[in-house]
Amino acid sequence: MSSQAKQMMQNFSYDPFDPAVMADPPSYYRVLRDEHPVYYIDKWDTYAVSRFDDIWQVLGINDGTFVASEGTLPAATVLAKHNDGPVADPPLHPLPFHANFDAPIYDSVRRCTSGQFRPKSAANLADRIRTIANERLDDLLPRGTFDLTQDYGGIVAASVVCELFGLPVDLAPDVLATVNAGSLAQPGSGVEVANARPGYLEYLVPIIERRRAGDGDGVPIADNLIGYRLPDGSALSDMEAAVQMLGVFIGGTETVPKIVAHGLWELGRRPEQMTAVRADLDANIPVVREEMIRYCAPAQWFARTLRKPFKIHGTTMNPGQRIITLLASASRDEREYADPDEFIWDRRIERLLSFGRGQHFCLGVHVARLEIAILVTEWLKRVPDWRIISEGAARPPSSFQWGWNNVPVECRVEGV
């Protein structure tokens, strides 16, 4: 063990908002998994759980033991208030993001937004995603140098979100910029992405207004939310309906580009693995995609608040306390994956937590997997030689994700 590692062990403390943690999360996760699988953060009255099996167990419990009434990514200002007991669901009006509720409201609102993300519906998007990806490459490759996260994957993902919401595709750069700006947070403060920032609503509220007036083509997500009724029989206001679309608007734009850019970076650093993947793209892309998701997914943790007592590793957590599941730590757990800090394209992955599990399992998982596969496939088909300009790569400050927002790349493509 290095002297630096020994010093970390002796002086160890973990806080998800600590800038030192967000500068190098994997090092902290390793200590947590080995020495403190259930780590209590007194400042926030919160427990951090870091091992794969423990998180798998926690997220699989859907009996009301854990609720998201304080948000799935509560800011420090929320956690600073310690609860004396169970936290009730928020009031129905104004309705916050539906993930803050338990069943039946969470389930019923989620169904309003899920139709286009079911497997068959997602598969129908493949040709359109492939067309958009190649249109981006047509524009980018002659430039020679561009940003792999923002200019390629970012614009493609934002374009798909625009089309799902009935927005003009030429708004994709603006949507992408808005989502990027809304997810920034200085470590120490945190950000609750389910809180509706004005920039998001400038896009979403007019969609609801248009559809309520019967203008334009159908937008299934908006139309379903307009027709939805809460248990007391009340309808959603335009603002409330718009807020329910935040999960798709943010999640559909933000995560895939980071996984694709980082994944291609890791693959490009390993010529032997690159050669193996290229040998049969149709067969191998779905395999390497899963390793890219495991290794590169940017989200670090998600929170729940206890409504019932829960015991794990001899520690009893009480109603009102919080638990944060360190999904990124689970993805590097030696108990689940051999050599987890290595990128191995054909790794056998039987279980994966990058998209969550249980009630809050990622709504867009099928579209995300499809987009990643297509973006990587079309890139490898058309770009035989490239170099990541690593000195220009950047991770912006954040309290909940560790993703490469900027990955500059230089391409050399004959005949372009």
Per residue in 170-202, pLDDT (tens digit) is 999 999 999 888 766 655 555 554 454 668 899
Can you give the pLDDT at residue 196?
47
CA-closest candidate to residue 223, choices 295, 115, 315: 115
Report pLDDT digits (tens) over 339-385. Answer: 999 999 999 999 999 999 998 899 999 999 999 999 999 999 999 99
Can you give the pLDDT at residue 194?
47
CA-closest candidate to residue 392, choices 289, 288, 261: 261
Q: Which residues pair with 38 in a beta bridge?
A: 49
Can you give the pLDDT at residue 415?
65
What domains does the chain contain, in order, with CATH numbers? 3-396 (1.10.630.10)
CA atoms of 238 and 211, how far apart (whole Å) = 10
Mean pLDDT per 10-residue interval, the chain, length 416 residues: 57 93 94 98 98 97 93 92 94 93 91 93 96 98 97 98 96 93 62 59 95 94 97 96 94 95 98 98 98 97 96 97 98 98 97 94 96 98 96 88 95 75
Can you give the pLDDT at residue 6?
57
Task: Quickly count: other Cβ atoms within 10 Å of residue 28's Cβ.
Answer: 26
Percent of the chain whose pLDDT exceeds 90 = 84
Which residues, including other chains, have CB under 8 Å from residue 312's CB and lie 6 or more apart?
Answer: 38, 49, 54, 57, 58
